[in-house]
Amino acid sequence: MTLSVLDIPVIETDRLILRGWREGDVPAIRELVMNEEATRFIGGTSKYWQPFRTLCMFIGHWHFRGFSFFAVEEKASGECIGWCGPWKPDGWPDNELGYALRKSSWGKGYATEAAKASLRFAYGSLGWTTAISCIDADNHGSQGVAKHLGATLEAKDVEVTDFRCDVWRHLPPQQFMEQFA
């Protein structure tokens, strides 16, 4: 039998740690995905058993693609508060920067902080030359995060596998790195 170990990087920002997933993160993700308001724009609430499978999917994406969502940990509390990172499942229109945080972590600038670090990773370590964020037309919070990172609305009402969204185009690597060094 051969076991593989994923080498998921750890990225630290002023207030956050972006890291690989732990089984102990399941309760935090359960809180996120069972909250109606927090999941309104990411497919709706999940059943109690689904967060474990969601984390397994994120880990599988690391295995298949060499990147995926990081667990976002708040340094001050040591708690997992959500996910953020590079993402591109089969059928996606382009490399995506995605993020979702527990409702209790909203309004603190964490999504922007995590997204900035994740995009820096995608451009610098993965060699991405382009990135988008797929954002629901009514998700003004995520639109604000994209705008803070310099993204612009590229297309409205785009079909992406089993949902529709607006596509926000992030700055190209050199421009992003210069602006957000």
Residue 117: give its domain's CATH number. Answer: 3.40.630.30
With a pLDDT cut of 70, the percent of the chain lying above it is 97
In a domain, 41, yes or no: yes
Question: Which residues lie below 8 Å from residue 2, measured CB to CB, with a gap of 6+?
Answer: none
Phi-psi region of 85 (alpha: psi -120 to 50; beta: other; left: phi over 0): left
Report yes or no on 95 lying in a domain. Answer: yes
What global pTM score does this model have? 0.94
Three-state secondary-structure class, residue 28: helix
* Model pLDDT, residue 175: 97
DSSP letter (8 states) at residue 39: T
Whether 6 maps to a domain, the answer reads no
Asked whether residue 51 is domain-assigned, the answer is yes
List % helix, strand, coil for the chain (3-state, nearest 5): 35, 25, 40
Mean pLDDT confidence for 130-142: 97
Residue 150 has pLDDT above 80, yes or no: yes
Mean pLDDT along residues 14-34: 96
User: What is the band of 180 on the pLDDT scale with cuts at 50, 70, 90?
Assistant: confident
Structurally, the chain folds into a number of domains equal to 1
- Bridge partners of 160, per DSSP, are 163
- Tell whether 103 is covered by a domain: yes
Q: What is the mean pLDDT of the chain?
A: 95
**Percent of the chain predicted with pLDDT > 90:** 88
Q: What is the DSSP code (8-state) at residue 57? A: H
User: Is the predicted pLDDT of residue 4 greater than 80, yes or no?
Assistant: no
Q: Decide if 4 is inside a domain.
A: no
Range of the domain at 44: 11-179
β 11-12/16-19 pair status: antiparallel
Average pLDDT over residues 55-79: 96
